[in-house]
Amino acid sequence: MEDRQILSGLRSGDIGALSAAIENYTGYVSAVIANQLRRRGSREDLEELTANAFVALWESRESLRTERLRGWLGAVARNQARSFLRKNRLLTVSPEDVLLVSADVAEKLLEKEEARRLLRAAVEALEPPDREIFLRFYYYDQTVPEIARDMRLKREAVKSRLRRGRDKLRQRLEEGGFPYGV
Amino acid sequence: MEFNIKDLLDGYMEEEIALRPRRSPRPEKIEALVRARLEGSEVPVSRPRRARRLLRALPVAALLACLLSVTAYAVSSLLSERVYARSASQGDVVLNLGAPESAEFQAAADWERCLAELAQAGENDSGSASFPEGSREALYAQNGAFTPAARAALDEILDRYSLSMAARLSRFQDPEELYALTGVSAFLPPLGKPGQDPWTGPDPSVPGSEHQIFKPVGSLYEGGSLEYSATALLSGERTVPYDLSLVANGNFIKGAGIVTRGDSFEEWTYTAPGGTELTLDLGASRAFLSAKLEHGYVFLFVRCGAAPHDEDTDAGRVAAYSGFARLDRELLEELAASFDYAALDALCAK
């Protein structure tokens, strides 16, 4: 069943559409969660969080506005996994995850939502290979060796492209009045 | 002021990148869970197969599926006798239980090889298996045998080496829980400085975070066998993460394969203050410590070595921040001296 049919079915309360979503996206949703959990969750944690994403899909069916089922499920799955880690005090923060902004810029941002909007715009402006590396690293929580394997690149190439992506991101953000440094 | 890039990507909808499946559950299992949740009923999830921490060091099935062509080993001496498989990319794989010539070690090695074969043949799928607490099936599942074929294979190995499966009595995190369970007072080195050390408390490099990289976790088995992943606070306020495996003579518990990453090891013997003679092995990224006791065998896998940490790992990044640089002979001997081997032996004698 195509996404369009699944979404249409969900909106009309067809439980079969939910089964089709589970059939099509269990692999993807569980991969998103497993990448976040790494070794910090058990098999049953993975199963429960994967199931939770589909329960959320069903419970949101009437208000579901998106046409991007994969993206919606990925965002929900990632969020659930990170919430689980946060709740269990297992959420790690690496130095390269942190953007430091000066107080005056922070004042201008006012809302985290504004920082989010600016960051996403900057990510979208990255060249495709750099954007993919950036998202694999920061969104999907893949390690450098995993990215190298999946994109058939050398680790050093991934590291340098990641660095380059961050430089471009910084340049873009600085142009938008949002300098950062680590 | 600071923002976390990963937090800022919350809610981002990514549509294009192909992700390689990892540990993917079956859609039927997920559908059963979802339906149960929606109907307000319960469906058991897969049982935990063993302590999480040991899973970290146990890519055995995946490794052995393609690595069973054992030829020459990079490691030497007593450690080489612990090697039971070889990875083209990760070096020799050593097993963490018992003395190499012992029934406990040989049985654990045979079982790991057997598990790999069963996995390749698809004859040990845990599926949605769930067994009543305390049942015989649960005891097999604790050791990784989920199907009748796997149970029969494990029985054959246990018969061959005249060993008995040891049931897990309890899981614990804090060493104080372990001391209360065993009735033996402190016999492990202190964990670290709660609230200050990056391994055991909030990361000082990320103000306000609740970051805890290393969470101690362990299991105590009947017969006195013990597994514990913890940290040891050594001199100079340096913290070392380790996995301890203590197997009592005659016990069978599931082992864990540890890849050596192609390290070369310096091996020497060291006599602890209480008189216990240990074998110490120091490599670039790992170190090992082992000792035969009267009633059991203790093995320590130390998660760092003589070279700087691999900063591709969480532990490596935090270690870099903590100022911990590398192990040397002196520090490994200090670690070896910080355990009470008489108390560990007494656990196995009970």
Mean pLDDT, all residues of chain B = 77
How many CB atoms lie under 10 A from the CB of residue B89?
Answer: 9
- Contact list in B for residue A79 (CB cut-off 8 A) is 10-11
Residue A181 has pLDDT above 50, yes or no: no
| Minimal-distance CA residue of chain A relative to B32 | A51
Which of A42, A72, A88 is the best mutation test for B, with the most CBs of B within 10 A? A42
Looking at residue B90, its pLDDT comes to 67
> CA torsion sign, B126 to B131 to B136 to B139?
positive
What share of chain B has pLDDT > 70, as a percent? 73
How many CB atoms lie under 10 A from the CB of residue B198?
Answer: 26
Mean pLDDT, all residues of chain A = 80
Local confidence band at B253 (pLDDT 50, 70, 90 cut-offs): very high
Q: What tokens appear for B338 in the block?
A: 């910080």
Question: Between these two residues, B231 and B95, which has the higher pLDDT value?
Answer: B95
Which residue in B118, B231, B224 sits closest to B178, CA to CA?
Answer: B224
Lowest mean pLDDT among A25-39, B99-113, B206-220, B231-245: B206-220
> Is B19 within 8 Å of A141 when comparing Cβ atoms?
no
Q: What whole-number distance in Å separates Cα of residue B19 and Cα of residue A140? A: 9
> Is A55 within 8 Å of B24 when comparing Cβ atoms?
no
- Contact list in A for residue B2 (CB cut-off 8 A) is 98-101
Looking at residue B41, its pLDDT comes to 44
Q: What whole-number distance in Å separates Cα of residue A20 and Cα of residue A77? A: 17
B206-237, pLDDT tens digit by residue? 444 444 555 677 899 999 999 988 888 888 77
Mean pLDDT along residues B76-91: 75
- The minimal CB distance from A98 to the residues B2, B25, B38 is found for B2
Ordered domains of chain A (ranges, CATH) = 1-90 (1.10.1740.10), 93-177 (1.10.10.10)
Residue B87 has pLDDT above 70, yes or no: no
Mean pLDDT along residues B10-26: 79
> CA torsion sign, A91 to A93 to A98 to A102?
positive
> Is B321 within 8 Å of A95 when comparing Cβ atoms?
yes
Question: Between these two residues, B159 and B130, which has the higher pLDDT value?
Answer: B159
Mean pLDDT along residues B330-338: 95
Helix (H, G, I), strand (E, B) or coil at B25: coil
> Is B210 within 8 Å of A23 when comparing Cβ atoms?
no
Lowest mean pLDDT among B12-21, B54-63, B177-186: B54-63
Residue B2 has pLDDT above 80, yes or no: no
Looking at residue B319, its pLDDT comes to 57
Looking at residue B231, its pLDDT comes to 81
Mean pLDDT along residues B121-126: 77
How many CB atoms lie under 10 A from the CB of residue B201?
Answer: 17
Mean pLDDT along residues B112-136: 78
> Is B211 within 8 Å of A93 when comparing Cβ atoms?
yes
Residue A1 has pLDDT above 90, yes or no: no
Cβ neighbors of B197 (< 8 A, separation 6 or more) are B231, B233, B237, B239, B322
Whether A70 contacts chain B with CB within 8 A = yes
Task: For residue A70, give how far its alpha carbon lies from the nearest alpha carbon of chain B (Å).
Answer: 6
Tell me the Cα Rg of chain B.
Answer: 21
Tell me the Cα Rg of chain A.
Answer: 18
Q: What whole-number distance in Å separates Cα of residue A62 and Cα of residue A155? A: 45
Question: Between these two residues, B154 and A109, which has the higher pLDDT value?
Answer: B154
Looking at residue B264, its pLDDT comes to 86
Look-up: residue for tokens 């929606």?
Answer: B38
Q: What whole-number distance in Å separates Cα of residue B67 and Cα of residue A91? A: 34
Task: For residue B338, give how far its alpha carbon lies from the nearest alpha carbon of chain A (Å).
Answer: 28
Question: Between these two residues, B48 and A41, which has the higher pLDDT value?
Answer: A41
Asked whether A47 and B29 are in contact (CB, 8 A), the reply is yes
Asked whether B193 and B299 are in contact (CB, 8 A), the reply is no
ipTM of the complex: 0.85
Q: Which of A93-102, B35-44, B84-93, B177-186 has the highest mean pLDDT?
A: B177-186
Q: What whole-number distance in Å separates Cα of residue B171 and Cα of residue B177? A: 9
- Dmax (CA) for chain B in angstroms is 64
Whether A64 contacts chain B with CB within 8 A = no
B257-271, pLDDT tens digit by residue? 887 877 889 999 999
- The minimal CB distance from B17 to the residues A22, A47, A136 is found for A136
Strands B251-252 and B164-165: parallel
| Minimal-distance CA residue of chain B relative to A132 | B17
Looking at residue B199, its pLDDT comes to 47
Lowest mean pLDDT among A4-18, B93-107, B182-196, B308-322: B308-322
Looking at residue B46, its pLDDT comes to 41
Lowest mean pLDDT among A5-14, B7-16, B328-337: B7-16
B270-323, pLDDT tens digit by residue? 999 999 999 999 998 889 999 999 999 999 998 888 887 655 555 555 555 554
Q: What whole-number distance in Å separates Cα of residue B239 and Cα of residue B252? A: 31
- Contact list in A for residue B34 (CB cut-off 8 A) is 18, 22, 51, 54-55, 58
> Is A101 within 8 Å of B3 when comparing Cβ atoms?
yes
| Minimal-distance CA residue of chain A relative to B209 | A93
Look-up: residue for tokens 């599931």?
Answer: B254
- The minimal CB distance from A97 to the residues B6, B16, B38 is found for B6
Q: What whole-number distance in Å separates Cα of residue B83 and Cα of residue B78? A: 10
Looking at residue B266, its pLDDT comes to 92
- The minimal CB distance from B4 to the residues A19, A75, A93 is found for A93
Q: What tokens appear for A173 in the block?
A: 């953000």
What share of chain A has pLDDT > 90, as a percent? 23
Strands B266-271 and B164-165: unpaired
- Contact list in B for residue A89 (CB cut-off 8 A) is 210, 212
How many CB atoms lie under 10 A from the CB of residue A182?
Answer: 12
| Minimal-distance CA residue of chain B relative to A112 | B8
> Is B46 within 8 Å of A44 when comparing Cβ atoms?
yes
Task: For residue B102, give how far its alpha carbon lies from the nearest alpha carbon of chain A (Å).
Answer: 31
Whether A112 contacts chain B with CB within 8 A = yes
Which of A87, A93, A99, A147 is the best mutation test for B, with the most CBs of B within 10 A? A93
Lowest mean pLDDT among B75-84, B135-144, B187-196, B233-242: B187-196
Q: What whole-number distance in Å separates Cα of residue A33 and Cα of residue A37? A: 6
| Minimal-distance CA residue of chain A relative to B54 | A39
A92-142, pLDDT tens digit by residue? 666 666 655 444 444 454 455 566 677 777 788 888 888 899 999 999 999
B155-214, pLDDT tens digit by residue? 999 999 999 999 988 888 888 888 998 988 889 988 765 544 444 454 444 444 444 555
| Minimal-distance CA residue of chain B relative to A166 | B5
Helix (H, G, I), strand (E, B) or coil at A173: helix
Task: For residue B34, give how far its alpha carbon lies from the nearest alpha carbon of chain A (Å).
Answer: 5
Task: For residue B346, give how far its alpha carbon lies from the nearest alpha carbon of chain A (Å).
Answer: 32
> Is B5 within 8 Å of A138 when comparing Cβ atoms?
yes
Look-up: residue for tokens 């996994």?
Answer: A81
